[in-house]
């Protein structure tokens, strides 16, 4: 048996209670149609149903030109700092308390300074305009992605997002990214709207290229954050003996994924709890790069969590 989660469980049965089914979507560049599962492809959409629009405030970068006096003061501080370092190379580049005060005054709360254009930039909540049309991200048919999450009579799942960053969203703690909407449908009663509106304002990293999917069913395991320490150690030793990595090789498999376990490779474990008190489960992972050519967070993963008690409860979002 090859080195897989199933073979690990066969050798170490204590892993069995921790195993979860998952489906790797494996998107590849293509020309999917509305009757196909896809990433970034067209959606099967009722002609009489309005296209969803995001009306939540989104983050917008505002750039401000420094005055001549501000630019000259910044350049003078920079020259003085470099001269002090030249005279004493053993010390780090440092500014005095007074210079730091002047720089803070020049920045005026902005987050960064472009020293080529001499513009400071800040992110603000933009509430102007009629709203931003949502963008198709994922469409999945139950024939391609079976599981117990399908509502009765529904065989199409659609995921859309607003292609702009947002923060301070309702029920989304510690999150900054696109707003996300899930819809289920029955393909037998839907025709198609061929020309959905395109957003005028969008982050190109949130506009996926059309891709077909090649779903593969796997067994996924949790990593160190959600396993007993001794069992995690056994799993790592088992994997090392077979020349593979336990983390991301057998546990918390990366990529576009339905179900399975989330990785907490950038932070400690963040419990994702529903408003009803239930611990939420990973539902869908959307990954940066690859043929969809999207970028979320710092080239990371956007994960959707759902309530195992009642799937109608609001979803939770997390980026790693």
Q: Helix axis angle, 68-87 relative to 97-107, nearest 10°? A: 150
What pTM value is reported for the model?
A: 0.81
For the segment 183-219, what is each residue's pLDDT rounded down to a tens digit? Answer: 999 999 988 777 889 898 899 999 999 999 999 999 9
For the segment 52-64, what is each residue's pLDDT rounded down to a tens digit? Answer: 999 888 776 778 9
Separation between Cα atoms, residue 290 and residue 313, nearest integer Å: 31
Closest CA to 130 of 55, 203, 57: 55
Average pLDDT of the chain to the nearest whole number: 93
Cα dihedral sign, 169-174-178-183: negative
For the segment 142-166, what is each residue's pLDDT rounded down to a tens digit? Answer: 999 999 889 999 999 999 999 999 8
Q: Which residues pair with 143 in a beta bridge?
A: none
Q: What pLDDT score was predicted for residue 22?
A: 98
Closest CA to 39 of 219, 215, 252: 215
- The answer, yes or no, to whether residue 129 has pLDDT greater than 70, is no
Q: What pLDDT score was predicted for residue 110?
A: 86
């Amino acid at each position: 048996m090859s080195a897989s989660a199933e073979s690990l469980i066969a050798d170490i049965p204590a892993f069995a209670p921790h195993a979860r089914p998952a489906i790797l979507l494996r998107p590849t560049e293509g020309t999917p149609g509305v009757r196909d599962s896809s990433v970034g492809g067209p959606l099967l959409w009722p002609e009489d149903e309005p296209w969803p629009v995001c009306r939540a405030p989104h983050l917008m970068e505002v750039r401000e030109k420094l005055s001549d006096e501000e630019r000259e003061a910044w350049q003078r501080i920079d020259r003085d700092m470099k001269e002090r370092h030249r005279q004493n190379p053993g010390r780090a580049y440092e500014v005095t308390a007074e210079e730091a005060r002047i720089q803070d005054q020049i920045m005026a709360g902005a987050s960064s300074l472009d020293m080529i254009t001499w513009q400071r930039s800040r992110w603000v909540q933009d509430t102007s305009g009629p709203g931003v049309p949502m963008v198709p991200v994922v469409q999945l048919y139950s024939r391609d992605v079976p599981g117990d999450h399908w509502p009765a009579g529904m065989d199409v799942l659609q995921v859309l997002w607003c292609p702009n960053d947002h923060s301070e969203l309702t029920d989304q703690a510690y999150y900054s990214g696109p707003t996300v909407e899930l819809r289920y449908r029955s393909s037998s009663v839907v025709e198609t709207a061929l020309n959905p509106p395109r957003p005028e304002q969008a982050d190109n990293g949130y506009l996926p290229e059309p891709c077909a999917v090649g779903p593969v069913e796997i067994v996924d395991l949790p990593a160190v954050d959600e396993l007993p320490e001794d069992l995690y150690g056994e799993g790592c030793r088992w994997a090392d003996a077979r020349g593979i990595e336990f983390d991301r090789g057998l546990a918390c498999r990366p990529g576009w994924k339905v179900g399975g376990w989330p990785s907490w490779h950038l932070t400690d474990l963040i419990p994702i709890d529903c408003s009803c008190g239930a611990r939420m489960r990973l539902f869908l992972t959307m990954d940066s790069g690859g043929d969809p050519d999207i970028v979320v967070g710092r080239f990371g993963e956007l994960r959707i969590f759902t309530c195992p008690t009642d799937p109608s409860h609001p979803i939770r979002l997390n980026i790693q």
